[in-house]
Structure 1
């Protein structure tokens, strides 16, 4: 309303100025008076048209070089503009609405060396450029978005504005145009050193190897993308008219469940949470490439489960979910752990990735240890945030035979991340 009143005031002023010039030429007469009137009047008429210029008839398109990228990558955003007339425009300012999710940057593994300084990652992105189209009907502007952070970034509004060369009048128009880019968490190379139960019940734990044990066939199951050609059971495939593969003993016994509590802390630690997401996805990617039976359980405001078959055949959906998940308020992690554990077979290795340790979580993990599960905790924290209370809770878990690995910025800046629960 205020802007409309300003435009109306400028229009009235210009009209009065034209009237004054005309009156001056009429009463003064002479070549000079009429020359001033006819030379200035076109400029004033042009300035009168500017506030009413019809931007809504422009054809504006937003083009993203990619819709799905990895964290830290770059995307080029291009805005193409077409108009129907050659009406002269001295300048056009094109401003792209920058979502709040792009207010910080991802510079790769180097970002973790400043884990304690959360302000280091903030970046004020300004997507605004001035063009000088003059009589052109088609023109475009490009923006480069680099160091993209994880998440789904929605672009909703393009602001167009123009004015006269003297800055006396202006006009602007907001165009609603929805586009988005999804940035997946980075996948790191993992050095895997975990221990799990041996194949024989009651024996001591044995190291988990990267390759499957393919000498003990326990049954058949439907084919999953990534299975070897030699595992196909041709007789069962011909009988059921569906591709079936052999199921080996390791698939049934070596079960890994990754638990990711999202809201297990009152303090939101963005970089620790980003490390937890990237570690979780890296573990899933490595186990998937080895054909390991692994499930994912995310405890957020809405609990989410991914089965082993979903991780094998629908890995893109897992990436998309981990890309868009956000931290929220604290929730009842203990109750959700209690519900999830009933679905896991005995002897399952439960790998819990946390960014905050509290008494409720520690007591829940100790209770699960009594149910014949193997527990391993990856605790991600900055060295400056490792308090005596946290160290006391880590010792409490280790006394209950729960392996705990503390991952700090010194571990996260390495090219190869190590996950080790061997004692």
Structure 2
């Protein structure tokens, strides 16, 4: 309303100025008076048109060099404007409104060196450029988006404004043109160390995930990329007309479940949640390439479970889900944790990734340890938050034969993350 009133005031002032020039030419007469009137009249008429210029007739399109990228990447955003007339415009300012989700900048693994100082990574991004189209009917403007953070980023509004060369009048218009960009969590290189496990109770331990036993064949299954050439069952392949590989006893029994808890993280360190999500995705990506049995269970405001088959065949959908995952204010739900774990096969290694540690969670994990599950906890936090109480709870878990690994700034800034589930 205020802008409309200012526009009307400017129009009235211009009309008065034209009237004054006309009156001066009529009463004064002579060449100079009429020269001034005819010289300024086209300029003043042009300035009168500017506030009513029909921007809504413009065709504005937004395109990006990529709609699906990983965190920390760069994308070029291009805005193309087409208009129907060649009405001269001295300048056009194009501004893309930055989504709130883009206030954070992701500088790669180095972002974790200031995990306790979140303000270091916030940036007031401004996407604004001035063009001088004059009589052109089509023109483009591009913006470079660097250090993209994880998430789904919704672009909705483009602001276009113009004015006269003297800055007396102006006009602006907001164009709603929606588009979305999905930024997946970054995938880190993982150095994997798992505790040894035996196939049968009382037998010698064998490494579950690095080497497979090739002397105990339990069946056949369809080929998964990453299987060895020597595992192919040629007779079954010829009979079924599809590539089939042997399934070994260890492969059948070995199972890893990732349990990601994202509850109650708004009050803590948001950067720790980013590390937890990147760690979960990196482990899945590595295990998926090896064809290992793996499941993912996410406990946030809503439960989400991904089976081993979904991880193999629907991996992009999992990336999409993790890209949009946000913390909530709910506390850890012990009942949901117990309900999730109880459906896993006995002997499953449950890797629990947490960013917040409390006594209720500790008691729940200890209770599950008694039900013949192998439990490992990866606690992502800042060194400043490693209080005596946290250290006491970690020691309590270790005394219950639960592996606990803490990952702080010095671990997260490394190029290769080390995940250990050994005592």
TM class by smaller structure = over 0.9
Instruction: Say whether residues 1:249 and 2:218 are aligned partners.
Output: no
Matched residue, 1:302: 302
Whether the aligned pair in 1 keeps the contact of 2:268 and 2:356 (CA below 8 Å) is: no
> Partners in 1 of 2:85 and 2:378 — Cα distance?
63
> Partners in 1 of 2:308 and 2:279 — Cα distance?
18
Matched residue, 2:35: 35
Report 1:213-228 matches (<5 A): 213-228=213-228
TM-score w.r.t. the length of structure 1 is 0.96
After superposition, give the CA deviation of every residue in 1:29-67 in whole Å (9 maximum; x if it has no partner).
Answer: 111111111111111100110011111111211110111
> Partners in 1 of 2:210 and 2:373 — Cα distance?
21
RMSD of aligned Cα (Å): 1.7
Q: Which moved more, 1:253-262 or 1:205-214?
A: 205-214
Matched residue, 2:325: 325
TM-score w.r.t. the length of structure 2 is 0.96
Q: Which moved more, 1:169-178 or 1:325-334?
A: 325-334
> Partners in 1 of 2:245 and 2:207 — Cα distance?
26
Whether the aligned pair in 2 keeps the contact of 1:225 and 1:313 (CA below 8 Å) is: no
Structure 2 residue runs without a partner (length 5+): none
Whether the aligned pair in 2 keeps the contact of 1:226 and 1:291 (CA below 8 Å) is: yes
Q: Which moved more, 1:289-298 or 1:218-227?
A: 218-227
Matched residue, 1:133: 133
Matched residue, 1:422: 422
Whether the aligned pair in 1 keeps the contact of 2:264 and 2:327 (CA below 8 Å) is: no
Report 1:14-93 matches (<5 A): 14-93=14-93
Report 1:356-371 matches (<5 A): 356-371=356-371
Q: Which runs of 4+ in 1 moved over 6 A?
A: none
SS at match of 2:316: helix
SS at match of 1:190: strand
> Partners in 2 of 1:194 and 1:226 — Cα distance?
20
Offset of residue 196 of structure 1:
4.3
> Partners in 1 of 2:181 and 2:399 — Cα distance?
46
SS at match of 1:10: helix
Q: Which moved more, 1:201-210 or 1:70-79?
A: 201-210
Matched residue, 1:345: 345
For these two proteins, the number of residue pairs brought into alignment is 423
> Partners in 2 of 1:159 and 1:43 — Cα distance?
26
After superposition, give the CA deviation of every residue in 1:214-250 in whole Å (9 maximum; x if it has no partner).
Answer: 3321123344444445544455456666654432212
After superposition, give the CA deviation of every residue in 1:355-392 in whole Å (9 maximum; x if it has no partner).
Answer: 11011111111111010000000001111111111111
> Partners in 1 of 2:343 and 2:383 — Cα distance?
36
After superposition, give the CA deviation of every residue in 1:300-338 in whole Å (9 maximum; x if it has no partner).
Answer: 111111111111122111212111111111244311111
> Partners in 2 of 1:258 and 1:269 — Cα distance?
21
Offset of residue 208 of structure 1:
3.4
> Partners in 2 of 1:205 and 1:350 — Cα distance?
18
Distance 1:395-1:227 versus aligned 2 partners, 3 A rule: same
Q: Which moved more, 1:286-295 or 1:328-337?
A: 328-337
Report 1:166-245 matches (<5 A): 166-203=166-203, 205-228=205-228, 230-236=230-236, 244-245=244-245
Matched residue, 1:408: 408
SS at match of 2:322: helix
